[in-house]
Amino acid sequence: MSLLSVENVNKSFGGLKALDNVNLEIAAGTVHAIIGPNGAGKSTLLNCFVGRLEPDTGSVMFDGQSLLRIDPHEINQAGVSRVFQTPEIFGDLTLLENVMIPAFAKRDGAFTMNVWRGVALESDVRAKAMDMLADVGLSTKAQDIAGQLSRGDKRRLELAMCLVQEPKLLLLDEPTAGMARADTNNTIDLMKRIAARGVTMVVIEHDMHVVFSLAEKISVLAQGTVIAEGLPQDIKGDPRVQEAYLGGAHL
């Protein structure tokens, strides 16, 4: 049963065909990695899922609902959360507030004017946010200003912000880029724990160590088309993949 199904998606920027008839099925409850060389169209594809870009043609169906021609906040309310390549967080707010905001969004919807009930009384949301921060190992910094975090911590914070919403589908754009090996391994462990809860994940990743420790299925994108798709062991041995992506090097 596929949670996200992408059919014949095309997207051009001027003369450049960024996505060329992409078809993709993401099965519910799996970790699906999308790999490919730089400029293959991976981020463009993810942007089409969250409403940042609109495909020229084709359809993107999520849980029986089209994700095209609706606003990003509606897509999120439908159950899709995204971690960006450059962390998008609320830099002026504390870590706790950063995680409470998505929790409020999940509970109260896209717009609520709840002025009379102070934040101090929202102990449920606060507790949930604190748990989430503890999960990603940031609970000691809960009252710090998010903008002052290191890049790795910002990524973990953004992950916490997405997870607190208990999304049906979690999109991750290079979640370990620029991380030290130890941090990368921590992130892999964290993502494994998330996957164990049954969250469906789509991961764009360059680090093959991450891909092969996490992914249950892999799609390889090159020049805007899916050139190969399958289980990790099949992809590892596929000559076309090695040709396109790894320049013939052996894994």
Partner 1 sequence: MRNSSMSKNDLILLFCFSAAILAGPIILAPIGAGYPDLLQKFAIFGIFALGFNILFGLTGYLSFGHAAFLGAGSYTAVWTFKLLSMNPLPAILLATLMGGLFAALIGFICLRRSGIYFSILTLAFAQMSYNLAYSVLTPITNGETGLQLRQADPRILDAALGRDYGAVLPSSDFFGIDMTGYPGFYFCAVILIACFFFSMRIFRSPFGMMLRAVKSNQNRMNYTGLNTRPYALAAFIISGMYAGLAGGLLAVTDPLAGAERMQWTASGEVVLMTILGGSGTLLGPVIGAGAIKYFENIFSSFNEGILMKAFDFLPESLQHIMVSISSLFVGEGWHLTLGALFMLIVIFLPGGLMEGFNRLRTWLGNRTGGGDGGAVPDTAPAPSVGGD
Q: Residues 124-153: x/- map of binding to partner 1 (CB under 8 A)?
A: ---------------------x--------
The answer to whether residue 115 forms part of the interface with partner 1 (CB under 8 A) is yes
Q: Are strands 217-222 and 31-35 parallel, antiparallel or unpaired?
A: parallel
The answer to whether residue 82 forms part of the interface with partner 1 (CB under 8 A) is yes
Residue 25's contacts (CB-CB under 8 Å, 6 or more residues apart) are: 2, 4, 5, 6
Nearer to partner 1, 120 or 249 (CB): 120
Q: Site for partner 1 (CB under 8 A): how many residues?
A: 41
Q: Do 163 and 170 contact (CB within 8 A), yes or no?
A: yes
The answer to whether residue 106 forms part of the interface with partner 1 (CB under 8 A) is yes
In degrees to the nearest 10, what's the CA dihedral of 12, 82, 197, 234? 30
> From the CB of 73, what's the least distance to partner 1, in Å?
5
Q: Nearest CA to 173 among 51, 81, 72, 68?
A: 81
Residue 221 Cα distances to 20, 69, 226, 245, angstroms = 10, 25, 4, 9
Among 72, 137, 198, 237, binds partner 1 (CB under 8 A): 72
> From the CB of 248, what's the least distance to partner 1, in Å?
38
Cα 117 to Cα 108: distance, rounded to the nearest angstrom: 13
Cα 215 to Cα 48: distance, rounded to the nearest angstrom: 21
Among 5, 53, 68, 90, binds partner 1 (CB under 8 A): 90
Among 13, 39, 91, 231, binds partner 1 (CB under 8 A): 91
Residues lying near partner 1 in the complex (CB under 8 A) are found at 50, 71-73, 76-77, 81-82, 84, 88-94, 97, 100-102, 104-106, 108-122, 145, 161, 165
